Copies of this chain bind each other. A is one copy, B any other.
């Protein structure tokens, strides 16, 4: 049975609709079925007339509160997540308001953990590192970081990474470093039975000191954006390979939800659609759920 298409929030992101629509067209050309969500007239004017379109004209601003955005039933975010929940879309992709995407996922999708997390696979020259949470929530408790570790290991398993290890993102290697959250999370992780290597400082991320690195959504998002900025500033020739990141995957919910960077170019949107499609084809949420059960 053919999978339904990937639903794309064509109005979300700093460079919407034009770059987003161009990214969708490029993805469609490589054989990924995409349906655009947004204001039909606007999307046609932006060149999206060749792709299937579902009307979702209500706007969600970047400054809007997460819940207010998620509650707008005519918004691309809400329409897309509901399509995913009903099986009319195989995945949902947005470069818009992350908080609204996460809140709509909470409202409409099954949730397998108390706190889902956005996971990015950082494409270092020596190999990928799964960093989470990169912004599903801003505040986190120590037990949330333990949950993120389980989610990240499950994801690593689905990716086929044998023997993945977990590290705690921190400002020093030694136990006892960091703020109160880090100190408590270190204890929890250390006694969890998970393959925990201890603290990982961010300058050790590229060395793959651990394949799965957990942190709160605020600091994870800062680190992700710092890396993006550093690549642009110091290694502009590598921006393209960095855009292969293709957005972060919301782990712990019953559907493939990908959040792309607000600044996403057409190429970045195309990569996010590809990542979403591959995750849908691989039934990634089911794989994560099975891996969580197996560990529980």
- Residues of chain B contacted by A229 (CB below 8 angstroms): 202-206
Contact flags (1/0) for A189-233 with B, using CB distance below 8 Å?
A: 000000000000111111000000000011101110111111111
Contact flags (1/0) for A159-184 with B, using CB distance below 8 Å?
A: 00000000001011111101110100
Chain A contributes a number of interface residues (CB within 8 A of B) equal to 45
Nearest B residue (CB) for A216: B179
- Residues of chain B contacted by A139 (CB below 8 angstroms): 179-180
- Answer whether A233 and B63 are a contact pair too, CB < 8 Å, given A169-B222, A222-B169, A226-B203: no
Rounded to whole angstroms, the CA-CA distance of A176 and B171 in the bound complex is 26
Q: Which of B62, B173, B233 touches A62 (beta carbons < 8 Å)?
A: B173
Nearest CB of chain B from residue A128's CB, rounded to whole Å:
13
Q: Which of B63, B171, B231, B234 touches A222 (beta carbons < 8 Å)?
A: B171
Nearest B residue (CB) for A126: B233
Nearest B residue (CB) for A139: B179
B225 and A234 contacting across the interface, CB-CB below 8 Å = no
A187 within 8 A of B: no
A178 and B230 contacting across the interface, CB-CB below 8 Å = no
- Residues of chain B contacted by A225 (CB below 8 angstroms): 171, 201-203
Contact flags (1/0) for A22-55 with B, using CB distance below 8 Å?
A: 0000000000000000000000000000000000
List the number of copies, as a whole number: 2
Rounded to whole angstroms, the CA-CA distance of A234 and B126 in the bound complex is 11
- Residues of chain B contacted by A202 (CB below 8 angstroms): 222-223, 225-226, 229
Contact flags (1/0) for A44-72 with B, using CB distance below 8 Å?
A: 00000000000000000011010000000
A15 within 8 A of B: no
Contact flags (1/0) for A118-146 with B, using CB distance below 8 Å?
A: 00000011100000000100110000000
- Residues of chain B contacted by A217 (CB below 8 angstroms): 171
- Residues of chain B contacted by A169 (CB below 8 angstroms): 222
- Residues of chain B contacted by A201 (CB below 8 angstroms): 225
A176 and B63 contacting across the interface, CB-CB below 8 Å = yes
Rounded to whole angstroms, the CA-CA distance of A176 and B138 in the bound complex is 12
Beta-carbon contacts under 8 Å, A233-266 to B: 233-235, 238, 263
| Sample of 19 A–B contacts (CB below 8 Å) | A62-B172, A62-B173, A63-B176, A138-B171, A138-B178, A138-B182, A169-B222, A171-B218, A171-B225, A179-B218, A202-B229, A203-B228, A205-B226, A206-B230, A222-B226, A223-B226, A226-B226, A226-B230, A230-B234
Which 6 A-B residue pairings sit nearest by Cβ, starting from the closest? A203-B229, A206-B233, A230-B230, A63-B174, A234-B235, A138-B179
Apart from the given pairs A202-B229, A223-B226, 9 other A-B contacts in the complex at a CB distance below 8 Å: A62-B172, A125-B233, A202-B222, A205-B229, A206-B229, A226-B227, A230-B230, A231-B234, A234-B235
